[in-house]
Structures are given as structure tokens and as C-alpha cells.
Amino acid sequence: MSRTSECWFENCRIPAENRLPKASGLRAPLSCLSPARAGIAWGVIGAAIGCYETALAYAKSREQFGRPIAGFQLVQEKLVWMLQEITKAQLLALRLTRMMAAGPVRPAQISLAKRNNAWMALECARKARDILGAAGITDRYSVIRHLMNLETVYTYEGTNDIHTLIVGHDITGIDAFGG
């Protein structure tokens, strides 16, 4: 569980020795966001693979209408979608990581990877939960745990919408954040 709360600071006097070394503004603490978001782009792939493997094994063992549910076209479509999107997310994360190793990247490039991969993993978890039927909402399988966690990953380190606006600003040059 996550104890989520709001905090604010008013009329605070901070001792000079508590300042971040070499920091001159908000940019310094915010600089941790880029590598964290790139890490998320990788981490969620693991959760998605866990959901895919659980759903595949379940679909091959669960029988309905006299055959394994893996033999139904609608179930196969979900499994194929998961495999396809996991593979694309891996390539996106790999490309981003290689670009980061070669030199600085633009924040929008990291936003694109965080936005896509968190969304992809959440969709995989939802499809896996669906394939597991009612068993998917029990904690006997890891899928519902991944699903709840991925709902939060979709929001933290920049919500999906905010990353949309970051990429939108980058490609159009127009700020759509409001204010």
C-alpha cells in the first residue's frame, strides 16, 4: 500500500548547510527524474512479461467448452497483443538506453518511453486479468498485484497526460499545460 498525502512548506527558513551541493534551483532535484523515468521504462516490461507468462500458462491449462481457452481466437488475440507490445517496448527502452549512453537526450525522448511502456504494461495486466477470469482478481496469481501497482506507475514520475503534453510541446513547439 502507499500512504499518499499532500505536504507544503510555508515561511520555512532552511539552514545554508542543508542546501544541495552545487544546486542553484529546482532544476537540481528535478534532474533525478530523467534517469528514474528511463528506469521505469525498463521496470514495467518485467511486470508485463510476468502478466503475459501467467496468462499464457493459465490459458493453456484452463478448459472451457471442452478445450483449453488458449484455443479460442479471442484469447489468442490478447496473448499476441501482449507479446507484440512487450517486444516493441523492449526495443524502445533499448534504443533510449543506448542514446543515453552515447550522450544527453531530450526529456521528451524519455517521456515517450515512460508514457508508452507504462501504458503498455498496464494494458498487459488488464488483458491478463481478463484471461484469468474470476481467478484474476484473487491474490493466488500475481496479475492483480501487478495491475494495481501499474495503475500507480501510470500516474507517478509524471502522469500519462503530462508526458503527452511534454511530447506534444516538443513536436509542436506549443505549450498546452495551461496557466
CB of 165 to ligand FAD, least distance (A): 6
Query: How far is it, in rounded angstroms, from Cα 104 to Cα 111?
Result: 14
- The DSSP 8-state label assigned to residue 142 in this structure reads S
If the CB atoms of residues 132 and 153 are measured against ligand FAD, the closer one turns out to be 153
Nearest residue (beta carbon) to ligand FAD:
161
If the CB atoms of residues 21 and 178 are measured against ligand FAD, the closer one turns out to be 178
Q: How many CA atoms within 13 Å lie on the side-chain side of 72?
A: 14
Torsion-angle region of 7 (φ positive above 0: left; ψ -120 to 50: alpha; else: beta): beta
H helices, E strands: number in the chain: 6, 2
Active site residues: 157
Residues in contact with ligand FAD by the rule CB under 6 A: 2, 4, 152, 155-156, 159, 161-162, 165, 177-178
If the CB atoms of residues 42 and 72 are measured against ligand FAD, the closer one turns out to be 42
CB of 80 to ligand FAD, least distance (A): 30
Reference 166, options 29, 24, 34; nearest CA is 34
If the CB atoms of residues 87 and 152 are measured against ligand FAD, the closer one turns out to be 152
Residue 72 φ/ψ, nearest 5 degrees: -90, 140
